[in-house]
Structure 1
């Protein structure tokens, strides 16, 4: 014995169904007079084939399922690509943060910092240039290090 909230499979004979839910009304049975059992069988076969999906419909459904599958795969790939870009961006920010913090430390400790001028000569930063560079580096630290 099996109890379920779902109806029995369509091929289950009525004699095998022990109890039906309250308020159940059996479907109406129409008996049409046929000249022979052969006509009745042919009519039943025609009705069954009319309810069955055509080959074109089955092909359309298969193409639709394949299209949905392809779209889901493309969506997953796009999400993964976006995540990879975010990871690369986060890694670049961490690297920039580390470099900016190191540069800021060197500038604040008073280490001699030189740059090349337009003629290719090394020029040591004066106090004004050092102060400007410290401000610029602090802005980089604030943006790439989250204000640390």
Structure 2
């Protein structure tokens, strides 16, 4: 029972820490907004009800677009969106991105190669079985199959011809040289 209380306490503390990292403010329409990101610059400091950490840390500095006077609601999300780093010879984020992209492409190529090998192996097995069945048909041996009731029956002329055609089609599709 004691272990359950400790576990419950740990879960409650974890949940409370996540809730502490929330921003809360009143937007221009008078609605309360909860977010894990700071409010747009157009929201005055007096409308901010809660910030992460409980203290009143300064909000991030306005971006160039916002400093020029773009205070429309449509401009705020675009201005706060992270911009890709410029491609520089020294790398940085672009270099990491290129490495991850190359790794993903290599993994995809390896996966495709493994799938192709699996298909080739299955075709080789089908080819081997079809060639041995064709050899039995060509030798004139009597061929039996099980019918729907599980009884063994000998293939007669038309059934034998249909099975021979099916085997020839398998050999043609799976035995590629």
- Scaled by the length of structure 2, the TM-score of the pair is 0.47
Which residue, out of 75, 95, 103, partners 1:73? 103
Between the aligned partners of 2:100 and 2:126, the Cα distance in structure 1 is 39
User: Which SS does the other structure have where 2:92 is aligned?
Assistant: helix
Between the aligned partners of 1:136 and 1:110, the Cα distance in structure 2 is 17
Segments of structure 2 that go 5 or more residues without pairing to the other structure are 1-84
- Which residue in the other structure is 2:156 paired with? 126
Between the aligned partners of 2:170 and 2:94, the Cα distance in structure 1 is 51
Higher Rg? 1
Match runs of 1:30-49 below 5 Å = none
RMSD (Å) for aligned C-alpha atoms: 2.1
Q: Please report how far the alpha carbon of residue 138 of structure 1 lies from its aligned counterpart in structure 2 after TM superposition.
A: 0.7
Between the aligned partners of 1:92 and 1:68, the Cα distance in structure 2 is 36
- Which residue in the other structure is 1:142 paired with? 172
User: Which SS does the other structure have where 1:115 is aligned?
Assistant: strand
Which residue, out of 107, 110, 122, partners 1:92? 122
Between the aligned partners of 2:152 and 2:121, the Cα distance in structure 1 is 32
Structure 1 runs of 4+ aligned residues shifted over 4 Å read: none
Segments of structure 1 that go 5 or more residues without pairing to the other structure are 1-56
Between the aligned partners of 1:115 and 1:126, the Cα distance in structure 2 is 11
Which residue, out of 110, 116, 132, partners 2:146? 116
Q: Please report how far the alpha carbon of residue 99 of structure 1 lies from its aligned counterpart in structure 2 after TM superposition.
A: 0.7
Match runs of 1:4-19 below 5 Å = none
Structure with the higher fraction of residues in helix conformation: 1
Structure with the higher fraction of residues in strand conformation: 2
Aligned residues: 90
